[in-house]
């Protein structure tokens, strides 16, 4: 069982992470590099002549981008291990796992891990003002765990009480509120911050849908399939 | 006798395998996405921002 989870998750996660990293280099990295010019003070958009909005020319940095690809594959492999473990638990309880349902699992993963925390803690462009990183990480983990549990209850719960519990779990972290900075000091134009956040979420959706799809397809095609 | 041998050679509980896989995955996510040690942070910097992790 463990070997089956491991191989399914590592192939699915590495494949999805690679696709995500390539998209990241083309769609997110230019925005990030542009923002870093403001973070470092090379560009300033207030107190002087209007800032030129044209992005810096596309460039690849072998070391830096190579590490991004590596870490993207690592992170999605980690997520895939958790996702496939949960898939096998669901299968044990009678759920069917295949490529098409894998898509749904991927969307659910995206909602739990990216959309739920982003609702109060938007993906940060470099240079954005933010609260203490440890406080944000604690809030992030609590929100992701609550949202994942809530989605499980929505998918597999069979009573109104469980569904109501799921709504409470989804709302609670945002009613408590994410840690916020004491003051706004970000030097990066809001236009870049907004583009970065929406592209990060779009990229996350693609990566998670691919993770779920690959995982579901591999899991269902495994000759050891016992259920 | 035969059934007893089969029962003994059965792999460990699937629940244990699931829990171990999920823990391993969590470890990878924490290491790659959350540990603040500067070497890991710098190497993973762009991907952490791209995946929406709280970063520095």
pLDDT in tens, A110-156: 999 999 999 999 999 988 888 999 999 999 999 999 999 999 999 99
pLDDT number for residue A46: 80
Handedness of CA A25, A76, B43, A193 (dihedral sign): positive
| Residue spans per domain, chain B | 28-56
Q: Chain A 138-157, CB below 8 Å of chain B: which residues? A: 140
* A25 reaches B (C-beta below 8 A): no
- What ipTM was predicted for this assembly? 0.90
B27 vs A contacts (CB less than 8 Å): 78
pLDDT tens digit sequence for B1-56: 455 445 444 556 889 999 999 999 999 999 999 998 888 999 999 999 999 999 87
Chain B: residue nearest A123 by CA? B52
What are the CA-CA distances from residue A79 to residues A115, A135, A136 (Å)? 15, 22, 20
B25 to A117: CB separation less than 8 angstroms, yes or no: no
Written as six digits, the tokens of A201 are: 């979420």
- End-to-end CA gap in chain A: 12
Q: Residue A1 in contact with residue B22, Cβ under 8 Å? A: no
Burial (Cβ within 10 Å: 0-12, 13-18, ≥19) of residue B37: exposed
């Amino acid at each position: 069982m463990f070997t089956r989870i491991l191989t399914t998750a590592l192939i699915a996660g590495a494949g999805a992470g690679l696709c995500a990293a390539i998209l990241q280099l083309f769609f997110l990295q230019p925005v990030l590099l542009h923002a870093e010019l403001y973070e470092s003070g090379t560009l300033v958009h207030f107190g002087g002549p209007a800032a030129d909005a044209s992005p810096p020319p596309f460039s690849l940095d072998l070391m830096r981008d190579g590490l991004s690809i590596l870490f993207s594959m690592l992170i999605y492999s980690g997520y895939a291990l958790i996702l496939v473990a949960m898939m096998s638990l669901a299968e044990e309880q009678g759920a069917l796992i295949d490529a098409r349902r894998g898509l749904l699992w991927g969307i659910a993963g995206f909602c739990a891990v990216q959309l739920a925390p982003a609702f109060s803690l938007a993906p940060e462009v470099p240079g954005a003002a933010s609260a203490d990183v440890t406080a944000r990480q604690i809030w992030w983990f609590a929100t992701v765990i609550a949202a994942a549990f809530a989605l499980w209850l929505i998918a597999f719960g069979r009573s109104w009480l469980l569904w109501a519990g799921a709504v409470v779990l989804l709302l609670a972290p945002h009613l408590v509120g994410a840690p916020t900075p004491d003051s706004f000091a970000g030097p990066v134009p809001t236009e870049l911050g907004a583009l970065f956040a929406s592209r990060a979420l779009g990229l996350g959706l693609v990566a998670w849908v691919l993770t779920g799809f690959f995982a579901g397809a591999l899991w269902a095609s495994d000759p050891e399939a016992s259920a | 006798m035969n059934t007893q041998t089969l029962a003994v050679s059965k792999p460990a509980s699937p629940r244990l395998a699931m829990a171990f896989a999920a823990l391993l995955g969590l470890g990878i996510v924490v290491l790659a996405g959350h540990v603040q040690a500067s070497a890991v942070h710098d190497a993973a910097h762009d991907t952490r921002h791209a995946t929406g992790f709280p970063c520095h």
